[in-house]
Structure 1
Amino acid sequence: MSIPSVDEIEFLSRPSGKAEGKHHIIVVGAGIIGVCTAFYLTRHPRFDPSTHHITLLESKRVAGGASGKAGGLLATWAFPQQIVPLSFQLHQDLSDEFDGENQWDYRRLTTVSLEADVQNVGHQTHPSTRKGYNLRVAPPKKKSRCDSTDSLESSVATGSEADDERENEFSEMTEQSSTEKELTDASSTDMKSEALQQEFNTEMEGSRKTTKLPVDLNWIKKELVRDWSSLGGTDSTAQVHPYKFTHFLLREAMNTGAVDLILGKVNEIKFDDVGCTSGVSYIPTTDDDDQEEQQPIEILASQQVVLAMGPWTSKILPDCPISGLRAHSITIKPSTGTVSPYAIFTELKVDKNKYFSPEMYARKDEVYVCGEGDTLVELPETSDAVEVVREKCDELYHYVSKLSSNLSEGHILKRQACYLPVLNVPTSSGPLIGETNLEGLYVASGHSCWGINNAPATGKIVSELLLDGEATSADISALDPGLYFDASVLE
């Protein structure tokens, strides 16, 4: 039975039966890693739709987690270097083949790191021509350690709710922020006389003349920048729109007729009498269904199972040292509509001994901004249940607006949060790619913040492992899951 399409991609609730009598591969997780695995399997020389079939299982929605909410930065200096060069080239190859520039906003760009002092910058109110918008954003309120988390209830939304929020929600924030007042008072105290103020301005003017940003980086207030450096030019950095990229590759894979996409939450790995992986059990999930009343459905007689579940991998394999790091982000529509193509890593001085380090990625028609991660809330059961703390999103907008008039005069399009899959071992930054110590069970997870960057290489390598029995495109011996956990520990 088919389920109404989500984002123009049709889900099934039960297996179609096309896998019967074929080499059957089950991929769990329809984020960018699972989708790239399915995509490159269908392009492998040994893959034949008449003899092979892929079942892709997703609990809620395609690219519902970090794959749909990441920044999409690509870089040759990412990690791990075992797969980065291959993946960066595959991104370019895919763009050349499928017109990535128009299909998923692929483009080369420049990446810089900069330090700026924004502690004395007031947040100005700019009238909007759009009815109902108040673009003045109050900074996050300072909370004491005794404050209850109950006070945050009104500012917490789920991931799906946050996707549809718009900037008019700021219309109630019209009072001057306490933080701005504190900064103003501090400035008045420090500048004890007009002469000192003039001396300060002279010194600042001198530093401005020595800090020359690239000419086309014209949406950053250059007078606030104290230092900057280049991290990579168009030869070594690029970007994609992760959500568009994931959906495009999935449609290409499904167009072969050899991929079933099933909406269901995997709850168990199945094994045959000799201990080899034979399939999975899952509970169908739709927005209208009560999962507690759903009976598990088994998919058996598969030759291989690939877990591409990101931070949810340890929900199925308890000994797997992969956890979730929550990261908040926003997208902003600049007042000018577009800005020059730069990715900017910042360190902003926001108070005497306080710094804030947001990252900004200019896209074709918006600017993506993300902040540092946190582990305050445990990983929920599905990506739809991720809590979005509005104050964290407001904080991002408050500080980047000080650095850019284009952003302060623009408006927020989305507030969102996701969990990055982090490998918790001291000797490796991840990911884990390969067969576990259980025959037929593979893991492709733990990509941290470089999942989009490394997805094509991961998908290609996993396809080689499944159909050739070994990785031929890269040496991934250091990424072997068997080095870090025992997959047979299932409880």
Structure 2
Amino acid sequence: MASTYPPVKRRSIVIIGGGAIGCSIAYFLTRHTLYDREAHSVTILEASSIAAGSSGKSGGLLADWATPKCLAPLSFRTRGELAKRHGGDKIWGHRHVYCAEINLEAHELHTRGIQSSPEDMKEGFPPALDWIYSDSIKSYEEIGTPRNSAQVNSYLYTTNIAKLAEEQGAKVIIGHATRINYSPDMKSITSVTYSSHDETRDLEATDIVIAAGPWTAHIFPRAALLTPRGHSIVVIPSADLSGYVIFTNIESTPNSTVKGPISPEIYPRPPDTLHSFDTVYSSGPDDYDVPLPPSVDEVQVDDRRCEDVWNALGSVSQQIKDGQVITRQACYKPQIRQHEDNEEVGPMVGPTGITGLWLATGHDEWGMQNSAGTGLIMSEMIFEGRAHSADCESLDPKHFLNAE
């Protein structure tokens, strides 16, 4: 039977950005039916190191119920398939979890050594969450189950999916993209200029995918983004915690840099190839006070904000309070605009209107969750001219880009 696909043509595809989005695009390009290692080149151009930004510092929640609705279910399903195919449960910590929203009241039980026990739990509150002080619970709402919610170690997913792409012929170049070069009529791209080891070079390309997260506008100014900074910590708890991802609201302490409630997300993690013991990842609220620096290597960590998260966790969990903080970190996210009334906004995924130039950015807090789906539909767009795994017309960059 004759192929329904057009003849193979030579393509040089450059992906700017070595985060979860860019690496997932490289993976799916190298697994596409039309990919030919002899005719096609796929290059990840990363300014620092793979997973150096938010892709190495996020909580790693995966959810069928995430946004946008046109992409999230596909991405969640695809993530499960990737985990089965490559042993993601062992390699990048993929596991299914419960997920809940909990309003908590900070208190001083920990100073008296009082622990929660199953018989203390309020009605409707899972006994498996015995690592939360029972009398600090003001409300509890389950929003996800192991059927539709999962988690990964974001750093391990991103670095390993990049390696899997390399095994199929993709290349990784460490270099800072400084300029996209266009044809004389500005209607198509020709190459990208990048600097590496104090040398400036041009990398010819038939296709350029900008997946540079919050730094996207540095290379393509029409893709204006907000760039909130978030802080997070990683803790070794004093005891293993159950597989619940929880979103909390906790009253901040008097010395906090945050006025009013602080809302840390809490992600217990099983042992993985980075840590042979259980850990807890937790992130605090975003801030817009510090502008995006020129590169990921210049991101500053505000220890006070990390301390806010640590103090809030310690006020509701003895096991976390008695643990040890092993990581304090910060990262910036690409946000199209601040959410209002739970409005679904972006990301922008698809063609820019300039032949050969594509965008995959603006994923905000769901970048890790939607990276696999983005990689899949981008591979379809590039090789087939359209996405067929999901209807993502609402993500077309034309809806978001500034005028030229």
So what's the TM-score if we normalise by structure 1? Answer: 0.73
Matched, 1:348 2:336: no
Matched, 1:315 2:226: no
Which residue of 2 is the match for residue 78 of structure 1? 66
Please state how far the C-alpha of 1:273 moved relative to its aligned partner. 2.9
* Structure 1, unpaired ranges of 5+: 1-20, 127-207, 286-293
In structure 1, what is the Cα distance between the partners aligned to 2:71 and 2:61? Answer: 16
Please state how far the C-alpha of 1:349 moved relative to its aligned partner. 2.8
- What does the per-residue CA deviation read over 1:33-88, in whole Å, with 9 as the maximum and x for residues that have no partner? 00000000000000010111111100001000000000000111110001111000
Which residue of 2 is the match for residue 357 of structure 1? 263
In structure 2, what is the Cα distance between the partners aligned to 1:440 and 1:425? Answer: 30
In structure 2, what is the Cα distance between the partners aligned to 1:61 and 1:102? Answer: 23
Which residue of 1 is the match for residue 177 of structure 2? 266
Q: 2:346 aligns with which of 420, 430, 449?
A: 430
Q: 1:404 aligns with which of 304, 317, 328?
A: 317
Which residue of 1 is the match for residue 5 of structure 2? none
Matches within 5 A, 1:1-400: 22-118=10-106, 120-121=107-108, 124=111, 210-256=122-168, 258-275=169-186, 276-285=188-197, 294-300=198-204, 302-336=205-239, 338-350=240-252, 354-364=260-270, 365-400=278-313
SS of residue in 1 equivalent to 2:287: coil
Which residue of 1 is the match for residue 4 of structure 2? none
Residues 321 and 424, structure 1, Cα contact 8 Å, conserved in 2: no
Please state how far the C-alpha of 1:295 moved relative to its aligned partner. 3.7
Residues 72 and 373, structure 2, Cα contact 8 Å, conserved in 1: yes
* Structure 2, unpaired ranges of 5+: 1-8, 114-119, 271-277
- What does the per-residue CA deviation read over 1:208-264, in whole Å, with 9 as the maximum and x for residues that have no partner? 7745420111211112112111011111110010100011111111012x2221111
Identity %: 33
* CA distance 1:30–1:210, shift in 2 (3 Å): closer
Residues 224 and 402, structure 2, Cα contact 8 Å, conserved in 1: no
Q: 2:385 aligns with which of 441, 466, 469?
A: 469
Structure 2: which amino acid aligns with 1:297?
Answer: R
SS of residue in 2 equivalent to 1:94: helix
* CA distance 1:23–1:390, shift in 2 (3 Å): same
So what's the TM-score if we normalise by structure 2? Answer: 0.89
Structure 1: which amino acid aligns with 2:315?
Answer: K
Which residue of 2 is the match for residue 448 of structure 1? 364
Number of residue pairs matched by the alignment? 375
Please state how far the C-alpha of 1:382 moved relative to its aligned partner. 1.2
Q: 4+ residue runs of structure 1 moved beyond 6 angstroms?
A: none
In structure 1, what is the Cα distance between the partners aligned to 2:233 and 2:21? Answer: 23
Q: 1:420 aligns with which of 306, 327, 333?
A: 333
In structure 2, what is the Cα distance between the partners aligned to 1:123 and 1:391? Answer: 22
* CA distance 1:296–1:369, shift in 2 (3 Å): same
SS of residue in 2 equivalent to 1:387: coil
Give the CA RMSD over aligned residues.
1.9
SS of residue in 1 equivalent to 2:234: strand
**Is the deviation greater in 427-436 or in 35-44?**
427-436
SS of residue in 1 equivalent to 2:377: helix
Structure 1: which amino acid aligns with 2:381?
Answer: L
Residues 113 and 346, structure 1, Cα contact 8 Å, conserved in 2: yes
Structure 2: which amino acid aligns with 1:261?
Answer: V
Please state how far the C-alpha of 1:122 moved relative to its aligned partner. 6.6
SS of residue in 1 equivalent to 2:34: coil
In structure 1, what is the Cα distance between the partners aligned to 2:193 and 2:379? Answer: 23
* CA distance 1:243–1:209, shift in 2 (3 Å): closer
